Each structure stands twice: as structure tokens, then as C-alpha cells.
Amino acid sequence: MSLFKISPWDLVKKKGVEKIVGITAYDYISARVCEEAGMDFILIGDSASMVILGHPDTFPITMEEMLVFCQAVSRGAPNTLRIGDMPFMSYQISPEQAIYNAGRLVKEGRCHGVKVEGGFEVVPIVRSIVKAGIPVLAHIGVTPQRSMELGGLKVRGKDFDTAKTLLEEALALEEAGAFALILECVPSELSRLITEKLKIPTIGIGAGPFTDGQILVFHDICGLYPEMRPKFVKNYLKGFELFKEALETYKREVKEGLFPEEKHSFKINPEILERLKND
């Protein structure tokens, strides 16, 4: 499916008309489920660093690893808007580096746009990527790639100065050409104010009910990542427990000789078997 048949600007048209539903997914099968469930867009998030690769944070994931996940999702969800996350140090060095790596997520990863974390400091970078013809999803509030500087992953925008900065950053990122804005862990009423001030849609995660859309991670929705259970996640399935139960049953059945049954096995002509035995 040609990339240009799906446009991030279709999301922009939904603002004020219908809620936008996004999901973070990383592989072929989960992308297929997301497409069949009718998600408005899939983010191939750098949270893959933790959820898929088992790192304690998002810093170690590389461009090469992100590209593999983007390609898998593009094969599983060819008809869904796909946004590739720019990993740590793939865009911070210079606008040239940012354009080059954003281009790789489009050319090699078959994404329709890229996500960049950060506020004022990434405005020139967002502008450069957009100028190169690549749509950008901006991301402010809690930005895990800046967690060293922010002192962790705490809710942002509770005090006047931080709230004002977030509002001004949102406006600056819109002006730089971002097609939408993720608000992560921001108080609900601040998200409402930012949503009202922007022409582009806001997508919330831990940002309350007033944003133009929501995003959650596939593995969190399905209960497959028990290490972290943030307050803002709604768990729709006890995936980890269900998978574990299935594997325990498989183990027990093999040990007890209950699996495989005849219906899982292949037959050989008895005459051939007889010949083999007597050979």
C-alpha cells in the first residue's frame, strides 16, 4: 500500500468531530489486531526498548532496532496510519541528523510520520523535519527521553510556571508545523486548556478525558507488561496471567502424555513402517 494513501492530516480533521484512538504497538501480530480493531493510528514507540527488549528505560534503543519494529508493524497494519518514534540521540545532534533519521523511518520503516519528544528545544528540529516533507507528532509533558533532566517521570504542569511553559511549548510546536501533540501525564484541566488553544489535535496519555484523543500501549491494555502499572493505564485483559495459564496447561499436558493427541500427529503407511522394521 502506497504511503501517500494514508495521511496524518486525516487525524487533524477529526478534531472536534470524533475522538481519536491511538495505540503503541511494535510487531506484526499486534499490528494486525490493532488494524482489525480499527485503531486510528499506530505509534511504533521507543517504549519497545522496555516492553520488547527488556531494558529499564527508553535510552538504549537504536535506530536499527526501531526500523525492524516499524517494518513489522507496516506489514501487519498496511492500511493504518503509522508513526515511528525517533529514539534518543537520533535527532538531538543537528537538524541534518534529525531529517536523515526521520527519512529512514519513512523510507525503510514505511512510516507516515515521526514522533519527536521535547518542548522549545526541539522546535527548530520539528520545523526542519516538516520542511523536509515528513509529518511530525510532537510530545510534551512527561518525556521519558528527558527523564534524567526532569528528575524522573512525575506528572508535569501542576505549578503555574511549568503549566505556562507547557502551554507555550504546545503553541510553539503547532507553529513549527507538528500535525498533532501528545500530552503525557499532564493534569486534566491543563490538557483541556491546551486542547482548546490548539488547532491541531491533542492525544493524551495520563492527561485526562478532555484531549482530542487517547493513546495507550498495546501491552498495557492487554496486561502483558506487569513490571509497570501506571495510574493512567486501563487494563482490559489479564494477558500475562492468561498466557501463563496456557503455558502451564501445555507443560502439564506434555508431562502427562496428554499432548500431542492423534489429531495433532501425522500418519505413515503401515506397509512402509513394516518394511522399515524388517529392513
Tell me which residues are annotated as active site.
Answer: 184
How much is the CA Rg of the chain, to the nearest whole Å?
23
Least distance (Å) from ligand KIV to the CB of residue 259?
Answer: 37
Q: Which is nearer to ligand KIV, 51 or 172 (CB)?
A: 51
Q: Which is nearer to ligand KIV, 205 or 224 (CB)?
A: 205
Alpha carbons 58 and 51: distance in angstroms, whole number: 9
Least distance (Å) from ligand KIV to the CB of residue 234?
Answer: 14
DSSP 182-229: EEES--HHHHHHHHHH-SS-EEEESS-TTSSEEEEEHHHHTT--TT--
The C-alpha cell of 127 is what?
520545523
125: contact with ligand KIV by CB under 6 A: no
202: contact with ligand KIV by CB under 6 A: no
Q: Which of 8, 45, 187, 201 binds ligand KIV (CB under 6 A)?
A: 45
Which stretch, 43-51, 62-70, 127-135, 168-176, contacts ligand KIV (CB under 6 A)? 43-51
Least distance (Å) from ligand KIV to the CB of residue 273?
Answer: 55
116: contact with ligand KIV by CB under 6 A: no
Number of residues engaging ligand KIV in binding (CB under 6 A)? 11
Sequence-ordered list of residues with C-beta below 8 angstroms from that of 106, at least 6 positions apart, any chain:
3, 84, 112, 113, 114, 134
Q: Give whole-number Cα distances, 263 to 266, 267, 275, in Å.
A: 8, 10, 25
- Nearest Cα to 114, choosing from 78, 72, 146, 86? 86
85: contact with ligand KIV by CB under 6 A: yes
The C-alpha cell of 268 is what?
505413515
Which stretch, 11-19, 38-46, 124-132, 245-253, contacts ligand KIV (CB under 6 A)? 38-46
Alpha carbons 207 and 204: distance in angstroms, whole number: 5
Largest interatomic CA distance in the chain: 89
Of the chain, the end-to-end C-alpha distance in Å amounts to 56
141: contact with ligand KIV by CB under 6 A: no
Q: Which of 163, 166, 215, 221 binds ligand KIV (CB under 6 A)?
A: 215
Alpha carbons 171 and 34: distance in angstroms, whole number: 31
Q: Which of residues 236-275 bind ligand KIV (CB under 6 A)?
A: none
Is residue 49 a known part of a binding site? Answer: no
- Angle among Cα 203, 76, 250 to the nearest 5 degrees reads 105
Q: Which residues are known binding-site members for 3-methyl-2-oxobutanoate?
A: 46-47, 85, 115
Q: Which residues are known binding-site members?
A: 46-47, 85, 115, 117
Q: Which residues are known binding-site members for Mg(2+)?
A: 46, 85, 117
Residues in touch with ligand KIV (CB under 6 A): 24, 43, 45-47, 85, 182, 184, 205, 215, 217
